[in-house]
Amino acid sequence: MKCSRPIYSGIHSLMKEFYTHAITKLYDGAKGKETDHLHPGTHGHRSGFPSALSPGGGAPSASSSGLLSPVLLGAAGGGGGGGGTLSMMSSVDTSIEIDSCDSDDSTSLGTLEFDLLYERATSSLHCTVLRAKGLKPMDFNGLADPYVKLHLLPGACKANKLKTKIVRNTLNPVWNETLTYCGITEEDMYRKTLRVSVCDEDKLTHNEFIGESRVALRRVKPDQTKHYNICLEHPPPLPSPSAMSAALRGISCYLKEWESEQQRSLEERGRLLLSLQFLPPSTEEASDGQAKEGGRSGLCVGVRRCAHLAAMDVNGFSDPYVKTYLKPDVQKKSKHKTAVIKKTLNPEFNEEFFYDISFSDLSTKTLEVTVWDYDLGKSNDFIGGVSLGCHSQGDALRHWVDCLKNKGKKVERWHTLTNELPGSTCHD
């Protein structure tokens, strides 16, 4: 069949031509089989075709050969033959749309109800999974053992996956369970998408996918609970190479390469919650009544916790610890290191380190914080890091400036770890 429209007229026209081509093949094949039983001029009902395919349900006219060939849609003629062809094609197109809408793929997966709340003060995203209804049966008993998984996209699935409990033998589970992401910045809320998946647990084989929904987090306003009651869908299908022309396949490959490049540019290794506090010299009253400076002044660095770190070990976890440096470090005495937390991607450290330094000297320094995966008997793996100083950018620069402006005040902020930090990627 020759396409009557340019290839770039849109995906809709491409799919319509594809369906028309398939129907033509089906009908032409069926018509060829019937020539052994019916004379081309024979009137009456044809075996194997429903009466709905005959306009008006009656006997086919002399132009019934055109009726069985949708490819003749554009042919000239305003008589009964042309009208019968258009009527048939309208009937066929409608049946295709109804079948696709009523198919098991679109309506029998079930619905899911949940709430989303983003707390700006704590940089946390709360997802309260309430209930599901009418899930697709997945087990031999006609039921399922459903649970809900959350993923933040883009991002490593293992690092930011959260999961509810499993509810046994039901198609209408109730969870009422809140799952929380820590270290979610306002920038994350603008550019990330939350993927909510419902799966069926199977102890003997792999867990089975039931359906999913994706929510653009930019639609969630800070400090306001947003309620969702959505129909579950299948994941977005990958384009079939057989259904595309060479030009369209070229465009698809280009888009995939562009998407991969975007993913690499947004690669994240996790989040780190840091607190900074510059302690100015305290003032004490001398014996003669004059005030004098006393005590130490310096920078107090608090390593609070990390969230959804990249997994570095074969078990899908890491054994993370954190190192801090204040550079330039001529005497090489500025390194501090936290304890190692075993087998986790969300460690809590709550350790503080003090650097004895004056305020004037601090403005020329850069604080480098790196996160590592501890490996016994071999080199430790670098997970990610962040550099804070006057030459930093974004949140790192804002955090550093806030610390310098607010002497004596503890300032906390989440930071996105990057996989490259010059000068800090050597192991202990």
CATH of the domain at 385: 2.60.40.150
Phi, then psi, of 244 in degrees rounded to 5: -125, 150
Quick one: 136 and 202 in the same domain? Answer: yes
In a domain, 254, yes or no: no
Beta strand extents in 280-346 (DSSP E only) = 282-285, 291-294, 298-307, 320-327, 336-337
Q: Which residue has the tokens 């890091």?
A: 385
pTM over the 0.75 mark: no
What is the Cα–Cα distance from 27 to 428, expressed in whole angstroms? 73
The SS3 assignment for 268 reads: coil
Are 151 and 161 in contact by the 8 Å Cβ rule? The answer is yes
Examine the fold and report which residue of 102, 128, 152 is the final residue of a domain before the chain moves on.
Answer: 102
Domain count, the chain: 3
In a domain, 253, yes or no: no
Are 309 and 185 in contact by the 8 Å Cβ rule? The answer is no
- Positive or negative CA dihedral for 80, 81, 84, 85? negative
Radius of gyration (C-alpha) of the chain in whole angstroms: 33
The SS3 assignment for 221 reads: coil
What is the Cα–Cα distance from 379 to 281, expressed in whole angstroms? 41
Quick one: 71 and 136 in the same domain? Answer: no
Quick one: 364 and 281 in the same domain? Answer: yes
For residue 343, the one-letter residue type is: K
* Sheet of strand 271-279: strand arrangement: 348-356, 298-307, 271-279, 411-416
Q: Which two tokens stand for residue 17?
A: 């031509």
pLDDT confidence of residue 89: 38
pLDDT confidence of residue 308: 85
Quick one: 120 and 98 in the same domain? Answer: no
- Positive or negative CA dihedral for 263, 269, 274, 278? negative
Quick one: 77 and 114 in the same domain? Answer: no
Q: Which residue has the tokens 């540019």?
A: 265
Segment holding 191, helix H or strand E = helix 186-191
pLDDT in tens, the chain (428 residues): 444 444 444 555 556 566 566 655 555 554 454 444 444 444 444 444 444 434 344 444 444 444 444 344 444 444 444 444 333 333 333 333 333 333 444 457 899 999 999 999 888 999 999 999 999 998 888 899 999 999 988 876 566 788 999 999 999 999 999 999 988 888 889 889 999 999 999 888 888 999 999 999 999 999 999 999 999 988 776 555 555 565 565 666 655 555 554 444 445 688 899 999 998 876 444 454 443 445 678 999 999 999 988 888 888 889 999 999 998 887 778 899 999 999 998 999 999 999 998 888 888 899 999 999 999 888 889 999 999 998 888 889 999 999 999 988 999 999 988 877 655 444 44
Quick one: 121 and 227 in the same domain? Answer: yes
Q: How far from chain centre, in Å, is Cα 400?
A: 31
In a domain, 401, yes or no: yes
In a domain, 119, yes or no: yes
Residue 218: DSSP 8-state: G
What is the Cα–Cα distance from 260 to 249, expressed in whole angstroms? 16
Quick one: 347 and 397 in the same domain? Answer: yes
pLDDT confidence of residue 242: 54
Which residues form the domain of 152?
A: 108-231
Examine the fold and report which residue of 67, 102, 137 is the final residue of a domain before the chain moves on.
Answer: 102
What is the Cα–Cα distance from 144 to 134, expressed in whole angstroms? 11
Segment holding 19, helix H or strand E = helix 11-34
pLDDT digit string, tens, across residues 89-139: 333 333 333 333 334 444 578 999 999 999 998 889 999 999 999 999 988
- Terminal C-alpha separation, the chain: 68
What is the Cα–Cα distance from 316 to 158, expressed in whole angstroms? 7
pLDDT digit string, tens, across residues 302-361: 999 999 888 888 888 899 999 999 988 877 788 999 999 999 989 999 999 999 988 888
pLDDT confidence of residue 257: 55
Quick one: 215 and 137 in the same domain? Answer: yes
What is the Cα–Cα distance from 188 to 155, expressed in whole angstroms? 11
Quick one: 143 and 74 in the same domain? Answer: no
- Positive or negative CA dihedral for 227, 230, 232, 235? negative
